[in-house]
């Protein structure tokens, strides 16, 4: 037997071992790739949990509010039944506070204890009496929000053992609050005022009502402008426009506009809509127009992709039975592309809801104390309201800033959930 014949088994064994080694390395690379991917997902989820957790820990105190139940004597001497709005409401509040103090209290003590209540107490009592004038001559029992320092004290956010120069309340002020607390008139409940009150300089009564209404009007204008214009532009570019260098240039510009920073659209809105056309600053109309410009490229791109995804056989079948071009598009192509169009539109609206920079440039960070009555009234939005609160020095606005972010995240989750639901529902229908 030749030497070559003798060496063949060893060569076969060597090649088989090399193949097994290569196969083992490939399997190891696959395992490492899976581990890397799983690690990336775990890190992303961990960072998301850290973000949401920090917002919840910081923001949950804003969802509760401390109140003091007080009996206000509404005497005819202080409040005229014929004109209750011009009553001596400061005196009414002072008389109610005296009822909290056992025995005789000096005017200085009454003034000091009155600081436990929010500064807006007299206006709250006035509005309650105007709504129900029958209480004049009797007693009005109300639960009044406490001022921010005492609210922080009731929530355990003030360290009682800290030196007096390291906390906002003195020992005497804490003792007065404890005295009122022992009467059983202090309570904590869900802070509905966070959603029903407008902005205020006092954290204990500041709310998101103006921002919620303003965000609704801004998104309404944005939706009304961007959806029809975006869908029409996408249909023309995809179905009717000739393929030449001009349409190629338009497509490139649309793709580039989708990546332009949002603050550029704010500068455009400030220069064109406000300075040239003279539209009012801080108005939802201007804010919605600016966000519509920002959302248009996204809607056009999403709509074109949804139209492209419709099988060509649908068009051919419609044209084959005598349908015209526009009938084919309106009656067959668009209904099938509708799930993708709505999904992209809602996601674009959600992105617009979270924008802050362009709205700041057109003045939607003003101090608004009442919800807007229309698209031309001054207003704020949720992101700009969060920005305003984040810049406020009072400690109570720290928790309200995180609470506003949580509300904004909640709306974004709802909008994305609606997009997913509509997509699945319409795909089953069509």
Domain ranges of the chain: 3-60, 62-204, 209-429
Q: Check residues 23 and 410 and name the one with the higher pLDDT.
A: 410
Greatest pairwise CA separation for the chain in angstroms: 131
Encode burial over 159-198: b for 16+ CB neighbours within 10 A, e otherwise. Answer: eeeeeeeebebeeebbebbeebbeeebbeeeebebbeebb
Q: Check residues 428 and 337 and name the one with the higher pLDDT.
A: 337
Which residues contact residue 134 at a Cβ distance below 8 angstroms, ignoring those fewer than 6 apart?
A: none
Give pLDDT, residue 430: 54
Q: What share of the chain is helix, strand, coil (3-state, %, to 5)?
A: 70, 5, 25
Q: Which helix (H) or strand (E) holds 73?
A: strand 64-73
> Does the pLDDT of residue 3 top 60, yes or no?
no
Confidence of residue 1 (pLDDT cuts 50, 70, 90): very low
H-only helix segments in 86-208: 89-98, 107-114, 121-131, 148-154, 171-182, 193-196
203 in Cβ contact with 373 (< 8 Å) = no
Kindly state the percentage of the chain with pLDDT values over 70.
95
Q: Cα(412)–Cα(272) distance, rounded to whole angstroms? A: 29
Confidence of residue 19 (pLDDT cuts 50, 70, 90): confident
pLDDT per position as a tens digit, 23-59: 888 888 889 999 999 999 999 999 999 999 999 999 9
Q: Report the CATH superfamily, name and number, of domain 209-429.
A: MetI-like (1.10.3720.10)
> Does the pLDDT of residue 259 top 50, yes or no?
yes
pLDDT per position as a tens digit, 220-229: 999 999 999 9
Half-sphere exposure in the Cβ direction for 314 (13 Å, CA): 17
Long-range (24+ apart) CB contacts under 8 A made by 324-332 are 325/239, 325/240, 329/235, 329/239
Task: Enter the tokens of residue 255.
Answer: 């793709």
Give pLDDT, residue 222: 93
Q: Cα(334)–Cα(258) distance, rounded to whole angstroms? A: 23
Give pLDDT, residue 22: 82
Encode burial over 320-337: b for 16+ CB neighbours within 10 A, e otherwise. Answer: eeebeeeebbeebbbebb
Question: If you average pLDDT over each of 13-17, 256-260, 375-379, which comes out highest?
Answer: 375-379
Question: If you average pLDDT over each of 321-330, 336-345, 389-398, 402-411, which comes out highest?
Answer: 402-411
User: What's the whole-number mean pLDDT along residues 326-343?
Assistant: 86
pLDDT per position as a tens digit, 105-145: 677 778 888 888 998 898 899 999 998 888 888 889 999 99
Confidence of residue 423 (pLDDT cuts 50, 70, 90): confident
In whole numbers, what is the pLDDT of the chain averaged over residues? 87
Give pLDDT, residue 9: 57
3-state secondary structure 45-62: HHHHHHHHHHHHHHHHHH
Q: Which helix (H) or strand (E) holds 141?
A: strand 139-145
> Does the pLDDT of residue 292 top 90, yes or no?
yes
pLDDT per position as a tens digit, 166-179: 888 888 888 888 88
Three-state secondary-structure class, residue 69 = strand
Kindly state the percentage of the chain with pLDDT values over 90.
33
Residue 280 vs residues 269, 285, 288, 289, 398: alpha-carbon distances, Å: 11, 9, 13, 12, 31
Three-state secondary-structure class, residue 138 = coil
Confidence of residue 11 (pLDDT cuts 50, 70, 90): low
This prediction's pTM: 0.86
């Amino acid at each position: 037997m030749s030497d070559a014949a003798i060496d063949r088994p060893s060569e076969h064994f060597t090649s088989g071992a090399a193949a097994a080694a290569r196969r083992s390395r490939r399997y190891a690379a696959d395992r490492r790739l899976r581990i890397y991917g799983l690690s990336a997902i775990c890190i992303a989820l961990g960072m998301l949990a850290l973000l949401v957790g920090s917002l919840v820990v910081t923001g949950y105190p804003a969802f509760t509010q401390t109140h003091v139940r007080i009996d206000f004597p509404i005497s005819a001497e202080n409040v005229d039944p014929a004109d209750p709005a011009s009553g001596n409401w400061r005196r009414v509040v002072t008389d109610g506070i005296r009822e909290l103090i056992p025995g005789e209290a000096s005017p200085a003590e009454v003034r000091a204890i009155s600081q436990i209540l929010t500064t807006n107490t007299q206006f709250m009592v006035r509005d309650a009496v105007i709504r129900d004038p029958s209480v004049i001559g009797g007693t009005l029992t109300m639960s009044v929000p406490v001022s921010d320092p005492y609210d922080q004290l009731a929530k355990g956010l003030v360290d009682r053992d800290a030196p007096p120069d390291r906390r906002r309340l003195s020992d005497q002020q804490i003792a007065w609050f404890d005295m009122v607390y022992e009467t059983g008139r202090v309570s904590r409940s869900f802070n509905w005022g966070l959603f029903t009150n407008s902005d205020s300089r006092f954290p204990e009564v500041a709310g998101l009502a103006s921002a919620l209404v303003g965000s609704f009007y801004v998104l309404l204008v944005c939706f009304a402008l961007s959806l029809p214009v975006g869908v029409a532009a996408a249909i023309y570019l995809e179905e009717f426009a000739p393929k030449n260098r001009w349409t190629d240039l338009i497509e490139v510009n649309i793709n580039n506009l989708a990546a332009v920073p949002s603050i550029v659209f704010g500068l455009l809105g400030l220069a064109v809509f406000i300075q040239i056309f003279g539209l009012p600053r801080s108005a939802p109309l201007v804010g919605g127009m600016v966000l519509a410009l920002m959302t248009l490229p996204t809607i056009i791109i999403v709509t074109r992709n949804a139209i492209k995804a419709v099988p060509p056989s649908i068009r051919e079948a419609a044209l084959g039975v005598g349908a015209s071009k526009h009938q084919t598009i309106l009656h067959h192509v668009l209904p099938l592309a509708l799930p993708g169009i709505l999904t992209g539109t809602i996601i674009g609206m959600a992105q617009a809801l979270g924008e802050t920079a362009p709205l700041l440039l057109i003045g939607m960070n003003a101090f608004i104390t009442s919800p807007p009555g229309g698209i031309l009234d001054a207003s704020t939005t949720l992101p700009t309201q969060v920005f305003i609160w984040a810049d406020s020095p009072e400690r109570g606005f720290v928790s309200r800033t995180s609470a506003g972010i949580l509300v904004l995240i909640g709306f974004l989750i709802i909008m994305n959930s609606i997009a997913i639901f509509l997509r699945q529902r319409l795909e089953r229908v069509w």
